[in-house]
A and B are shown apart, each in its own frame.
Chain A
Amino acid sequence: MFDNIMRVRNYRYFWWCMGSIVVAVGVFATQTSSNEPANGGTWQGLVLGVWAALLIVWLTLLGVRKRSYRFRLGTVQDWTSLHVYLGVGVLVVATLHAGLQFGWNVHTLAYVLMFAVIISGVVGLFTYLSYPRRIADNQQGQNRSQLFGELYELNQQGIKTARSCGPEVQTAAISGIQRTAIGGGVLSQLFARDLSRFETLDGVQQPNPHQAPLIDLVSKRIPRADKHDEVTALQDLLVILCRRQAVIERLRKDIRLQGWLQAWLYVHVPLTAATLTAVVVHILVTFIYW
């Protein structure tokens, strides 16, 4: 419906980035005439180095811009779009600055860290571009709190219905409902790990991934029930458990997708800090040992 980060204003920022790359390559190309191999120490190298450093500082400033709610120049979307393009562009500029010379030193450390930031950025961009749609498809118009609300309702109904079933099903179903785990630690959230359990009559806890074992247990009980009342109760319970299962799956998927949308930033931002430090060290070092 609306333009995404890449397409903003008819790819305006893509062209800006291409422009700056072309200029950088142009500057780099003037180096070949001299006998000194291309490196960060020539005047071209220095220009490119400063240019790369400024770019990195500006890229970092996105974090500030995002929180300056009264800032007038461009929307955050404009900034992010340019950030994404120049973020990749800086790779070219920095590479040209280094003259493709790498070694086991602090200079290359800065470069590698920057590279990592960029990779994480690309991963993040990928999630930004593709996950929202998946989240929306998964939610089907119900937001997370509504889904939880529905689950709560189903839980209440489930517990009530389970009370009129035999002791085995009753214990299993009620404990199964109470011990359903959604979310949890970072890893559980990101990989939608299911730590749900339920208890059998003898008090043993069984894993209950995807609620399937519990549903299985209830469904097996149905043909073996002896009272008519219990059969209806069991069937009702089965319906409720299956509906629960669907809701829980949707919730888990929602949490997983939303988690990834944020998780990459926890790599991107600290690495940015590291990169900045390394770059500062690199600059100091080159000036001291030159």
Chain B
Amino acid sequence: MGKTTGFIDFERNSAPYRDAGARMLDFREIYTEHDVSQLTDQGARCMDCGVPFCQADDGCPIHNLIPEWNDLVYRDRWRDALDRLHKTNNFPEFTGRVCPAPCEGSCCLAVIEPAVTIKNIECAIVDRGFEENWIKANPPLQRTGKKVAVVGSGPAGLSAAARAAELDRANESTIPSYVLLESHSAHAKTIQRYQVGKHVMAEPGYLTLRSDCEFQAGTREAVLDQWLADIDRGQVNIRNDAEVTRISGSKGAFSLALKNGDELEAENVVLAIGLEGSPRKIGTPGEDLPLVQYHLEDPKAFRDEVIVVIGAGDSAIENVLGLAASKNHVYIINRREEFSRAKEGNLALILAAISDPAVAVDCLYGSNVNSVIETPDADEPLAISLNTLEGEVTIACHRVIARLGGVPPRRFVEGAGVSFPNERPDAIPELSRTYETDVAGIYIIGSLAGYPLIKQAMNQGYDVIEYINGNDVEPADYPLLHNQFHCLPFEREPRDVLDLFQRRIPFFSRLNALTFRELILESNVVVTYRAGELLDAAVQQCETLDASLADLPQIPRSAKVIAAGEYLYREGEYASSFFTIVEGEVVLETQGQADVQLSRGRFFGEGSLISGRPRQESARAEGTCILVETPRRIMVKLFNSNEDVRQGVDWIFIVRELKRHFAPDATFDELREVSSQVVLRSFNAGEVLFEAGDIGDSLHIVRRGSVSLQRGVGDRAATVVELRSGQLVGEMALMGDSNRRERAIATVATETIELKRPEFLALMRLNAGNLDGLQNLVSRKLVKTTQMETRPESGGILDFLLSEGLGEATDTLIIDEQLCIGCNNCERACAETHDGLSRLDRAAGKSFANIHVPIACRHCEHPHCMKDCPPDAIHRAPGGQVFIDDTCIGCGNCEVNCPYDAIRMSYPAAEKPSLLRWMLFGHGPGPGEPDAYDGMKNDPEVQQKGKRAVKCDACVNEASGPACVRACPTGAARRIAPEQFIELLG
């Protein structure tokens, strides 16, 4: 502080503005020129306070060293002042002009006098710097020059990096132009976490691999070793333990912040981080200590240790039980006071373990972690401090395992600026044909992009690097399109056909090219010809193609040719695919009557797609047509990534449903107005649509799922009727009786179309004639519900059946306990007709009023098992049977997804000995004897192949029908469709 009395000697004198009149004529600086002598005086006013509030938190947000350069200016040492200023501030030329100067607001002098003119001084310093040429550009000494940063070293990322390495080699560049970042200590984290020896499949068999890394089906170890060898051979520039925490910047200059504080630059970023996400950390000091781990591969690896497990979910509980079983002393830290998130089985087990003094498991409820520290104690090297209900507790332990779930990668991706189409948990960001996101320069491949299979992911890794390098390669699956377009009435390059298709279907014209291509790849192209030479030629062509494909390990989709006038599907058939018309005309018929005629660009089949029920109409192709038939799975994926398509299909569904129920003769245009007024509602299982006694002013059309109506209150409440998709709920409210008589509950996850009074009246006006039919329907239903109410025992049975999931079932095995002699011939029949493995468990399952629902597949309307099957191995036959084909990769998703335990993972059964060998030598199981697959468990070949999912297929392939039912000697077992429920009610 040069002049101690400066603040007394000088008044504040800030630089004045230029004359406003003059300023109006130009765009220049608004201040007058700096007056150097005056500025040194102003600098002297600074008191060099002990606590410089100007540079503290409520002053300068970037903590400029204000008192220092004030002083330097007073001493006329401008060069030094500039250096001090640049120390904290890159752009004083801006902040000196436009900063609102909170420093001056917090200046101590301002308590009694006007503040020091800090902003003027700052501006003057930097202007002087430019004048004197002191300021020079300061480019980085060494640029990383990375063209691509690949994040995640799973199959997709690894393949991308290997491709980049190969291109570098071709360009003879010695410094890698890319970097592969892996958060884990080794490549392919997800596969590293597979259980030891697990078999990794290479589906789909018909897709060729295009990658600089190799891959074929084999054990987890073989696959990982192969990739490690590929990394070595290709000298892939991989950086392990490099977790990317943030991506910022834009194409050409992205900056990736790493966990350890490093920053990396890259022109492009390829995200191949999969879907698993990173484990949620404890969030307290010590969370990254080496003995604090976030997963547990093998509980048997630890013995006689004190281990603290944090978390209350299923994985935490399973770890605790596993660790306790191998003689460790385990503490489980539960943030809440109960295990509310755990599965029932796990809950019972953990509670038993906690209360059993013989098992070394202790639970600390209502507890949070304070910190984890390392202690010098070699025996128990960690100390974890906890806030418990009884105050602070410290536990000395060997290791801490936190199982707090994962942070889904979505937020990380969004953090880089990439947007998702909607809030659904399974939303997929929209990608261009080259896998680029809406942030130019950021690419997404692999399962995060919606491609869960390894081979697909590896191919994408290869392609994306080619795209980034400006090579517009045709994707590896291009030949597949050739097959699909084989029998079209014209010949063109697949790329052009795709273009043509997309232009012809207005509904899809706004999809991006990648999505559309994927849609076609996964769809059937159906071509119809009028009977005659052309048809014969096409059929011939098709057969030749099929014959040439038949040798492949797995047969790819080929073209499908049918004769004009044939049915695409018939009323009552189970199918949920969605059709779009590229060319030609299709007639929809209900009950044999032609109903609607659809032409080019229109679509149909959405009813079953959404409701999961059999087809409500038959569809017949007229003349020469080209149709695209898309499976439900792909449509659902499309819905999740594209809001327009979802809304479009929803809208048509509503219109067709309104037309069917209320206004059969109305045109689409007439219905447009009303259909935009109705609301789509969705309810979770157990949620109430409306209560008895409510005043209602709307009705619901069930769109999917099922709704049960209950009468009576409290314990005496009984279900009187169950309504499925396509049926009306609460229509009485709009037909005279606005008092709700029943309580309506969704028995499974349910969606409805809600129709309010005005829209209902509008519909009635459109079509007065149909009121009659509707009224008849209502009368019939009233009789039924009232009759049911007078028979409470039937209601009890209905409740039981619904609680057993029959609300969404299409075909359920029911056993009459009054007839069942327990001979298990049903199970044997099942095993004998299904590779030696029974798919039903007769004795298990619940019973009520002599009705037994054994553990067996219910063939749900929307099969839970089909939800995420990576190889798409689960299908539904036209008769409704849900079955698993040979392409199952044994991932176990379906087993987990089935709420009825109807799927189990199993090794194949041992081969049956011949009758003679069995009789003479007692080899293996005899005819009709239960499976003995235990024998195969130790067979190395079988182990190599791994387990497969097995479930009931309702004997789709048995001409004579379900074997279990046919084999029951007393007629106790029967398969029941929803329409037959009423028979069970007695």
Contacts and interface: CB of A to CB of B under 8 A. Distances in A.
Interface of A: 1-5, 8, 66-67, 69-72, 75-77, 79-80, 127-128, 131-133, 135-136, 139, 141, 143-145, 258, 261-262
A70 B958 contact: yes
A133 B817 CA distance: 6
B969 A2 contact: no
22 contacts: A1-B819, A4-B818, A4-B971, A5-B969, A5-B970, A5-B971, A66-B967, A69-B963, A70-B833, A70-B963, A72-B960, A76-B825, A77-B968, A80-B969, A132-B970, A133-B818, A135-B817, A136-B818, A141-B846, A143-B843, A145-B843, A261-B823
A14 to B, nearest CB: 15
A2 B822 contact: no
A77 B970 contact: yes
B972 interface: yes
Contact of A75 (B816, B851, B968): B968
Interface in B777-821: 816-821
A84 B871 CA distance: 50
Contacts of B967: 66, 69, 75-76
B821 A131 contact: yes
Contacts of A141: 846-848
Contacts of B850: 1, 133, 136
Nearest to A3: B971
Interface string B942-977: 000000000000000011100101111111101000
B986 interface: yes
B76 to A, nearest CB: 92
Contacts of A127: 821
B927 interface: yes
Given A2-B972, A2-B974, A4-B971, A128 B821 contact: yes
B270 to A, nearest CB: 54
Given A5-B971, A70-B958, A136-B818, 13 more contacts: A1-B818, A1-B850, A1-B983, A4-B818, A5-B969, A67-B927, A69-B928, A75-B965, A75-B966, A75-B968, A80-B970, A133-B850, A135-B817
Interface of B: 816-823, 825, 828-829, 832-833, 843-844, 846-848, 850-851, 927-928, 958-960, 963, 965-972, 974, 983-984, 986
A136 B818 CA distance: 7
A233 B945 CA distance: 55
B364 to A, nearest CB: 25
Contact of B971 (A8, A69, A71, A144): A8
Contact of B820 (A66, A69, A79, A132): A132
A66 B822 contact: no
B928 to A, nearest CB: 5
Main secondary structure of the interface of A (DSSP, over half): helix
A1 B816 CA distance: 7
A69 B829 contact: yes
In order of increasing CB-CB distance, the 8 nearest A-B pairs are: A136-B817, A77-B971, A72-B960, A69-B832, A69-B829, A75-B966, A1-B816, A133-B818
Contact of B968 (A67, A71, A76, A136): A76
Nearest to B967: A76
A143 B928 CA distance: 23
A1 B852 CA distance: 11
> A5, A66, A77 — which one has the most chain B CB atoms within 10 A of its CB?
A77
Contacts of B969: 5, 66, 76-77, 79-80
Contacts of B848: 141
> A3, A69, A143, A262 — which one has the most chain B CB atoms within 10 A of its CB?
A69
Given A66-B825, A69-B963, A80-B970, A2 B819 contact: yes
Contacts of A132: 817-822, 970, 972
Given A133-B817, A136-B818, A1 B970 contact: no
Contacts of A80: 969-970
Contacts of B844: 143
Contacts of A131: 821
A5 B846 CA distance: 24
Nearest to B833: A69
A70 B822 contact: no
B334 to A, nearest CB: 25
B308 to A, nearest CB: 29
Contacts of A139: 847
A8 B960 CA distance: 19
A143 B967 CA distance: 22
Contacts of A76: 825, 966-969
A77 B983 CA distance: 19
Contacts of A135: 817, 822
Nearest to A258: B822
A2 B817 CA distance: 10
Given A2-B974, A67-B927, A72 B821 contact: no
Contacts of B817: 132-133, 135-136
A72 B959 contact: yes
B926 to A, nearest CB: 9
A143 B960 CA distance: 31
Contacts of A1: 816, 818-819, 850-851, 983-984, 986
A128 B817 CA distance: 11
Nearest to A131: B821
A92 to B, nearest CB: 24
A3 B965 CA distance: 13
B847 A2 contact: no
Contacts of A2: 816, 819, 971-972, 974
Nearest to A265: B823
Contacts of A145: 843
A120 to B, nearest CB: 16
A124 to B, nearest CB: 10
A62 B828 CA distance: 16
A275 B816 CA distance: 34
A191 B960 CA distance: 41
A143 B825 CA distance: 17
Nearest to A134: B818
A144 B928 CA distance: 22
A61 to B, nearest CB: 14
A48 to B, nearest CB: 29
Contacts of A258: 822
> A66, A72, A135, A136 — which one has the most chain B CB atoms within 10 A of its CB?
A136
Contacts of B928: 66-67, 69
A4 B833 contact: no
A258 to B, nearest CB: 6
B821 A261 contact: yes
B847 A136 contact: yes
A262 B983 CA distance: 30
Contacts of A8: 971
A3 B983 CA distance: 12
Contacts of A71: 960
A56 B762 CA distance: 73
A258 B843 CA distance: 13
Contacts of A133: 817-818, 850
B357 to A, nearest CB: 10
A238 B927 CA distance: 49
Nearest to B965: A75
Contacts of B843: 143-145
Nearest to B834: A69
Contacts of A5: 969-971
A131 B820 CA distance: 9
A133 B966 CA distance: 21
A216 to B, nearest CB: 31
> A1, A76, A77, A135 — which one has the most chain B CB atoms within 10 A of its CB?
A1
Nearest to A2: B816
Contacts of A79: 969
Nearest to B849: A1
Contacts of B927: 67
Nearest to A64: B927
A133 B970 CA distance: 13
Contacts of B832: 69
A128 B843 CA distance: 18
Nearest to A79: B969
